[in-house]
Structure 1
Amino acid sequence: MTATNLADVEYVVRIIAQTAVDKEKEFGDFDAVVGDGDLGYSLARGFEKVLADWDSYKRDDVSAFLQQIAVTITSRIGGSSGPLWGTAFLRASVTAKQFDEITGTAAVAMLRAATDGIKARGNSDLGDKTLLDALVPATDELERMITSGANAADSREAFAKTTRERAEATSELEAKRGRASYSGERSIGSPDAGALAVAIIIERIVAGWPER
């Protein structure tokens, strides 16, 4: 992947926010299968605030911008999603300070920081049937593609494809975190709502990247 400037980071965040708002019902329906059905509502309320405040965010650098997004999300998204998504953006913002430009390598480092933050905040890990089961393997694949010298477009496509495949594969797991864990073995057979939401968001980001 080539170097990414602040405008590209803004594009990614805006697509995340807009997708959360656009897909409120769909994400809620995913969550209602074995969870409490509030995922769509929670994400939409937080990210619509991000969109409403969009022009007020300072653009001094990538880190400062992402930190402000983290604060908004943490304060506006209810339930467990707020702290998890807020922590993800906050950890990514801290890691962004280490780089003069956001290259593919930097993006991988920021994704690693985000998922590590989610693990710590949610006391969760791979195999617990959460968005981590999609995002961590996808980040591994993105890093593999970059290391192998693949071009930017192929790397993005592989990232999105792996996220979708691993999100669908969470249907084989038993939920161990969140409200879905109350369903026990009944959670097997349905994919994790958070993982599916992340897959849809990343697919939108990748699809729109050439025209951003």
Structure 2
Amino acid sequence: MSIPETERVVRTIAETAIANERFFGDLDSVVGDGDFGYSLARGFEKLLEGWDELDRSSDGAFLKRTGMVIASRIGGTSGPLWGTAFLRAGMAADGTDVDGTDVVGMLRAAIEGIKQRGRSDVGDKTLLDALVPYTDRLERELGRGAGVREALRAAAATAREAADATGGMVAKRGRASYTGERSRGSVDAGAVAVAVLAERVSETWSSQGAAS
């Protein structure tokens, strides 16, 4: 990816998070405190407000600055987790031109950052339950020689399936974990957010004629 393509992905994530504020909040309110959608939207609004001032000297610099803004503006537990994800991805980016292997590495770095910051892992009913399968599928698709469009589409489908599957899990982290067995039967808002964002990034990538 080039820096303009990285910008496009981040902007798509920001605009999608804002557009889905109510939806994400409603999901979170089932067993959480309902502020996930609001917090995410406010953080990404702040990012877009200062969009023109973000460091564009490299993909890494752009993502790290994005992470810093998000971490400082998103409230609750979401800010540190989402901010850390972007920061770690930026730290993993090497040079100004990022290829598919680099993207997978950046996602892996983001995942490790989330695990460490949230003291969570796959199976705890968090965004990791969609983000990790998404990354695994993306890596497999690119590894077999799939084009970027095809790989993103397949990975987004996997993220959606994984997010839906969190409905059968018991939450082990976050406010939802206080409800114990009552958390079973409702999907995790963070995991669904990952799926929605992945789907929108895939759609945007295909529709705007980015590299195949």
1:205 aligns with 2:201: yes
Letter matched to residue 12 of structure 2: I
**Residue number among 71, 82, 87 corresponding to 2:84 in the alignment:** 87
Letter matched to residue 64 of structure 2: Q
Q: Detail structure 1 runs of 4+ shifted over 6 Å in the superposition.
A: none
Residue 49 of structure 1: SS of its match in structure 2?
Answer: helix
Letter matched to residue 176 of structure 2: A
Letter matched to residue 91 of structure 1: R
Question: Any conservation in 1 of the 2:59–2:96 contact (CA below 8 Å)?
Answer: no
Aligned to 1:76: 73
Aligned to 2:163: 167
The alignment yields a C-alpha RMSD, in angstroms, of 0.9
Aligned to 2:128: 132
Q: Which runs of no fewer than 5 residues in structure 1 stay unpaired?
A: none
Superposition deviation, residue 100 in structure 1: 5.1
Partner Cα distance (2:207, 2:199) in 1:
14
Residues 30-179 of structure 1: pairs in structure 2 closer than 5 A:
30-97=27-94, 99=95, 101-179=97-175
Partner Cα distance (1:141, 1:147) in 2:
10
Q: Which runs of no fewer than 5 residues in structure 2 stay unpaired?
A: none
1:71-93 deviation per Cα after TM superposition (whole angstroms, max 9, x unaligned): 11011000000000010000000
Aligned to 2:18: 21
Partner Cα distance (1:138, 1:47) in 2:
22
Q: What is the identity percentage for the equivalent residue pairs of Structure 1 and Structure 2? A: 58
Partner Cα distance (1:145, 1:135) in 2:
15
1:124-160 deviation per Cα after TM superposition (whole angstroms, max 9, x unaligned): 0010000101110111111111111122222111110
